[in-house]
Amino acid sequence: MERGGFGGAGRHDEEAPAMRPAPQQRYRTVESHDRAVVQMAPMEFGSSASASASAGPRYIKPGTNLRTDARMHMASSIGRSSNGSQGDSKLELFGFDSLVNILGLKRMVGEQAQASASPRDGENEGIAIGHPKETETKLGTMMGVFVPCLQNILGIIYYIRFTWIVGMGGVWQSLVLVAFCGSCTFLTTISLSAIATNGAMKGGGPYYLIGRALGPEVGVSIGLCFFLGNAVAGAMYVLGAVETFLDAVPSAGFFQESVTVVTNKFVNGTAAGNATTISTPSLHDLQVYGIIVTILLCFIVFGGVKIINKVAPAFLIPVLFSILCIYIGVFTAPRPNASKWMTGLSITTLKDNWSTDYQRTNNAGVPDPNGSIYWDFNALLGLYFPAVTGIMAGSNRSASLKDTQRSIPIGTLHATISTTMMYLLSVFLFGALSTREGLLTDRLLCAAVAWPSPAVIYAGIILSTLGAALQSLTGAPRLLAAIANDDILPVLNYFKAYEGSEPHVATLFTSFICISCVIIGNLDLITPTITMFFLLCYAGVNLSCFLLDLLDAPSWRPRWKLHHWSLSLIGALLCIVIMFMISWTFTVVSLALASLIYYYVSLKGKAGDWGDGFKSAYFQLALRSLRSMGANQVHPKNWYPIPLIFCRPWGKLPEDVPCHPKLADFANCMKKKGRGMSIFVSIIDGDYHESAEDAKTACRQLSAYIDYRRCEGVAEIIVAPSTSIGFRSIVQTMGLGNLKPNIVVMRYPEIWRRENLTQIPSTFVSIINDCITANKAVVIVKGLDEWPNEYQRQYGTIDLYWIVRDGGLMLLLSQLLLTKESFESCKIQVFCIAEEDTEAEELKADVKKFLYDLRMQADVIVVTMKSWEADPDRSGGSKKDDPEVYRSAQSRIRTYISELKEAAERERRPLMEGGKQVVVDEQKVEKFLYTMLKLNATILRHSRMAVVVLVSLPPPPLNHLAYCYMEYMDLLVENIPRILIVRGYRRDVVTLFT
- CA–CA separation, 477 and 510 (whole Å): 6
SS (H, E, C) 855-867: CCCCEEEEEEECC
Q: What is the pLDDT of residues 768-827, one digit of tens each?
A: 999 988 888 899 998 888 888 778 888 889 998 877 776 778 888 888 888 888 888 899
Q: Where are the domains of the chain?
A: 141-257+278-604, 636-782, 794-868+883-896+924-956+969-993
- Judged on CB neighbours under 10 Å (0-12, 13-18, 19+), 647 is buried
The rounded Cα 468 to chain-centroid distance in angstroms is: 34
CA 510 to the chain's CA centroid: 29
Number of C-beta neighbours around residue 507 at 10 A: 22
What's the pLDDT at 226?
A: 84
Instruction: Name residue 276's beta-bridge partners.
Output: 262
SS3 for 466?
helix
Identical fold for domains 141-257+278-604 and 794-868+883-896+924-956+969-993, yes or no, is no
Q: Tell me what percent of the chain is helix, strand and coil, each rounded to the nearest 5.
A: 55, 10, 35
Whether the CB-CB separation of 311 and 446 falls below 8 Å is answered with no
Assess whether pLDDT exceeds 90 at residue 420. yes
Judged against a pLDDT cut of 50, whether residue 121 lies above it is answered with: no
Residue 778: closest CA among 654, 643, 884: 643
Q: What is the mean pLDDT of residues 427-438?
A: 90
Q: Does domain 794-868+883-896+924-956+969-993 have CATH number 3.30.720?
A: no
pLDDT tens per residue across span 920-966: 888 888 888 888 888 888 899 888 889 999 998 888 888 888 888 98
Would you state the pLDDT for residue 425?
Answer: 93
Other CB atoms within a 10 A radius of the CB of residue 340 amount to: 10
pLDDT digits (tens, 9 = 90+) for 74-85: 334 434 443 444
C-beta of residue 404 within 8 angstroms of C-beta of residue 201: yes
Mean per-residue pLDDT, 3-30: 40
Cβ count within 10 A of residue 849 = 11
pLDDT confidence band for 181 (50 / 70 / 90): very high
What's the pLDDT band for 637 if we cut at 50, 70, 90?
low
Contact 151, 473 (CB under 8 A): no
| CA 800/CA 859 separation, integer angstroms | 10
If you ran DSSP here, which 8-state letter would residue 499 be given?
Answer: T
In contact, 863 and 833? CB cutoff 8 Å: yes
DSSP secondary-structure letter at 62? T
Is residue 586 a contact partner of residue 229, using CB atoms and an 8 Å limit?
A: no
Residue 344 has pLDDT above 50, yes or no: yes
CA–CA gap between residue 898 and residue 567 (Å, rounded): 82
Is residue 495 a contact partner of residue 357, using CB atoms and an 8 Å limit?
no
What letter would DSSP give residue 638?
G
| DSSP letters for 56-88 | ------TTS-HHHHHHHHHHHHS---TTS-TTT
How does DSSP assign 874-895, residue by residue?
GGG---TTS-HHHHHHHHHHHH
Residue 137 or 745, more confident: 745
Q: What's the whole-model pTM score?
A: 0.61
Q: Which of the four pLDDT bands, split at 50, 70 and 90, describes residue 611?
A: low
Neighbour count for residue 930 (Cβ, 10 Å): 19
**Residue 304, Cβ neighbours under 10 Å: how many?**
15
Q: Is the pLDDT of residue 123 over 60?
A: no
**Single-letter amino acid code for the residue at 714:** V
- The per-residue pLDDT for 990 is 63
Residue 469 — pLDDT band, cuts 50, 70, 90?
A: confident
Q: Report the distance separating Cα 470 and Cα 301, nearest Å.
A: 7
Instruction: Reply yes or no on whether the pLDDT at 162 is more than 70.
Output: yes
Tally the C-alpha atoms within 13 A of residue 651's C-alpha that lie toward its C-beta. Answer: 23
Cα end-to-end span (Å), the chain: 72
Cα separation, 5 vs 13, in Å, equals 11
864: amino acid identity, one letter: T
| pLDDT value, residue 187 | 93
Helix (H, G, I), strand (E, B) or coil at 492: helix
Helix axes 584-604, 565-582, angle to 10 degrees: 120
Average pLDDT for 13-32: 41
Q: What is the pLDDT of residues 872-911, one digit of tens each?
A: 555 444 455 568 888 888 888 888 888 888 888 888 888 8
Please check whether residue 607 is in contact with residue 227, taking contact to mean a CB–CB distance below 8 angstroms: no
Task: Please indicate whether residue 884 or residue 123 has the higher confidence score (pLDDT).
Answer: 884
pLDDT at 76: 41
Rg (CA), the chain: 41
pLDDT at 900: 85
**Mean pLDDT computed over every residue of the chain:** 76
CATH architecture label of 636-782: 3-Layer(aba) Sandwich (3.40)
Q: Which residue has the higher pLDDT, 56 or 730?
A: 730
Q: Are 432 and 167 in contact (CB under 8 A)?
A: no
Mapping DSSP to helix (H, G, I), strand (E, B) and coil, where does residue 923 land? helix
For residue 580, what are the CA distances in angstroms to 386, 438, 586, 614, 686?
16, 31, 8, 25, 64
Query: In the predicted model, what is the mean pLDDT of residues 270-283?
Result: 60
Residue 464 is predicted with a pLDDT of: 79
Q: What are phi and psi of 791, to 5 degrees?
A: -100, -5
Distance between CA atoms of residues 98 and 74, nearest Å: 9
CATH superfamily of 141-257+278-604: Amino acid/polyamine transporter I (1.20.1740.10)
% pLDDT > 70, the chain: 75
Give the β-pairing of 948-952 and 979-983.
parallel
3-state DSSP of 242-286: HHHHHHHCHHHCCCCCEEEEEEEECCCCCEEEEEEEEEECCHHHH
Nearest-10 Cα torsion for 988, 992, 993, 994: 100
pLDDT for the residue 629? 66
Which residue would you say has higher pLDDT here, 718 or 987? 718
Tell me: pLDDT of 163 over 70.
yes
